[in-house]
Amino acid sequence: MCGIIGYIGKQDAQSIIINGLKKLEYRGYDSAGISLINDKNQVIIKKTQGKIANLESILNHKDNGKIGIGHTRWATHGKPSDINSHPHVSNNAKFSVVHNGIIENHEELKNMLVQEGYSFASETDSEVVPVLLEKYNQGNLLEAVRKVIEVLQGSYALCVISSDYPEEILVVRKESPLIIGLGEEENFIASDIPAILEHTKKIFVLEDDEIGVVSAKGVVVYDSQGKLVDKKLVKVNWSLETAEKQGYPHFMLKEIFEQPGAVRKTLAGRIKEGTVNLDLDIEVDKIDKIAIVACGTANYAGQVAAYIIQSRLRIPVLVNFASEFRYMNPLVDENTLTIVISQSGETADTLAGLREAKSKGSKILTITNVLDSSIPRESDYVIYTQAGPEISVASTKAYITQLIALYLFILDFGYRKEILNKELVASWLSELEAVPEKIEEILNRSEVLEGFAKNIKDAASMFFIGRGLDSVSCLEGALKLKEISYIHAEAYPAGELKHGTLALITKAVPVMAIATSKKLVDKTISNISEVKTREAITYCIAFKNVRDIKDVDYLFTLPDIIDELAPILTVVPLQLLAYYTAVLKGNDVDHPRNLAKSVTVE
Ligand code: M6R
């Protein structure tokens, strides 16, 4: 995820910024850059794809400015490259800007600016900002920034320097964090506390639409109406290690709590007037079959999609683990759309599955989180999830955003194929837009899952049972528990228990039942009775107001949502259950034994 640092004061800005960027490395990035105003009052920019070490190798140590900004980029618009890295500069080379977030109307702004004679070097959304600053500059940087943000749509944390105003850094934010750190005759700016923690623990936290004018002597903050804001000083009492996790004890928990924001970002700009806008030019009329290929958690996202594609779109769909698909001589052809799902975009089996489908003439649609990784590079169409870097090995926010992307695809594809009508699409979309608040509501009750975890932590084995889409959520819940708590977990379609595995149920085997399907809830309740009769302690995830479910030992309720979208909510308590269980067992949550984040070998 992108990171920002800025400095103005008496010290060498270049070394402070480079050290700050290093403190942001844990967030994941693909390129880095720095901009200074040197003692000749020139804007200097050095930026490069790759690690901060690459950036250091191209720095000129004689660039001894006292004011500068730096950035680590995690590509969203425009592949990772030197030119797409930040900072970006205006045509007249006077304004330099770093940006976190997404400027949703960048195409429109770019077209307008090009018509006015401005040019663009990069493929990024961010470059419109320095160019707009040049256009609106009339001798007052604060005014120019105000005019720019009036025309921006989307989210941003912006940090601006200019050779016309070498005594100040302008900062502004909307839906993307930015803090100002206070020093003695020097001040700092950062997207994240760790970047400046070694210099100061006194900070101002910028709120949405506030603009800060930061000089060496002081900081002035204005609200959106231009009124001075009396900012409250916040004293940070974090260690550097805690700060990288923003106060969370593990990346996994941080990432679970980032899910509402990740869903919002994945939806951003993709819903227009009750329809989906994914910019995919798939020839839908030619497609008569869908294949879905992925591994692990990504495969379970695919299984959710397959269920809905079959039940709602009535299109034959084949879903398989990539490691199997690649060797099974799969039944795909030029009329098949193969959907490849991979958080990292680098999983070796998934890439091989893609190539197998392609060799049979299938078109490839990839859903991935990492821009320009190997899998999207070999695909015909791509939907990027906007989860930001996922550092914990256990996948959480990547799964939820894969589901969101898949729902958007199904609605778009079904509508364009004239299978789904406009009313249905609009109603699902408005439900999707309400998902972030519903996840927040679940997260606010996370201590309930911590309580469940205390009960199950000593179990040797646990069952997850459900029907329909709930049985797919069981797969993900069981995988999460196995992966980080090392408790054996079995996910089973609830109706299948009596065909063999009921023999394993005893009072020592807790059972988690997922019962969100309104159509199948009574059947699942019967299955809960079957395991209760065998003395199992029962846990259940269900919607509120489901009468009979009170009979389980422990119930966790979900905010209401249409059945087919329930997997998005169901997974959150399952993630938390696995997380708290692993913590209670003293396991290395973010780095479970024997596992790697990106599996680039067969
Ligand atoms: O990067 P990918 O999505 O291709 O990774 C696929 C699986 O390795 C991954 O989802 C794995 O199952 C997770 N660590 C589970 O939490």
- Domains, the chain, ordered by start: 2-238 (3.60.20.10), 245-444 (3.40.50.10490), 445-594 (3.40.50.10490)
Confidence of residue 596 (pLDDT cuts 50, 70, 90): confident
pLDDT of residue 547: 62
pLDDT over 80 (residue 598): no
Ligand 1 centroid–CA 238 distance in Å is 31
**Does the CB atom of residue 14 touch ligand 1 within 6 A?**
no
Q: Is the dihedral of CA 481, 485, 487, 488 positive or negative?
A: positive
Tokens of 449: 């899952």
Other C-beta atoms lying within 10 Å of the C-beta of residue 107 = 12
Hey, is 452 helix, strand or coil?
helix
DSSP 102-118: EETTHHHHHHHHHHTT-
Beta carbon of 483 within 6 Å of any ligand 1 atom: yes
CB contact at 8 A, 68 and 7: yes
Q: If you measure from the C-alpha of residue 353 to the centroid of ligand 1, how many angstroms do you get, rounded to a whole number?
A: 15
Check whether 18 has a pLDDT greater than 70: yes
Q: What is the pLDDT of residue 560?
A: 95
Q: How confident is the model at residue 61, as a pLDDT? A: 80
Strand 381-384 and strand 461-466: pairing? unpaired
E strand or H helix at 227, and its extent?
none
Mean pLDDT of 564-579: 98
User: Is the pLDDT assigned to residue 4 strictly greater than 90?
Assistant: yes
pLDDT tens for each residue of 157-190: 999 999 999 999 999 999 888 999 999 999 999 9
**Ligand 1 mutation pick, 256, 292, 297, 400, max ligand atoms within 8 A of CB:** 297
Task: Find all residues with CB under 8 Å of 444, minimum gap 6, and list them.
Answer: none
Distance of CA 299 to the CA centre of its chain: 18
Distance 394 CA to ligand 1 centre (A): 7
Amino acid at 65: G
Q: Tens digit of pLDDT for each residue in 403-441? A: 999 999 999 999 999 999 999 999 999 999 999 999 999
Give the residue, out of 599, 600, 601, 602, with the most ligand 1 atoms within 8 A of its beta carbon, to mutate for a pocket test: 599
495 to 173, 237, 475, 566: CA distances (angstroms) = 52, 52, 15, 20
Give rounded-to-5 percent helix, strand, coil for the chain.
40, 25, 40
Q: Of the candidates 459, 435, 591, which has an alpha carbon nearest to the alpha carbon of residue 512?
A: 459
Q: Is residue 55 a contact partner of residue 46, using CB atoms and an 8 Å limit?
A: yes
Residue with the nearest Cα to atom 11 of ligand 1?
Answer: 296
Amino acid at 273: E
**CB 145, CB 210: distance < 8 Å:** no
Q: Is 401 in the pocket of ligand 1 (CB under 6 A)?
A: no
Q: Check if 476 has its Cβ closer than 6 Å to any atom of ligand 1.
A: no
- At 574, the amino acid letter reads L
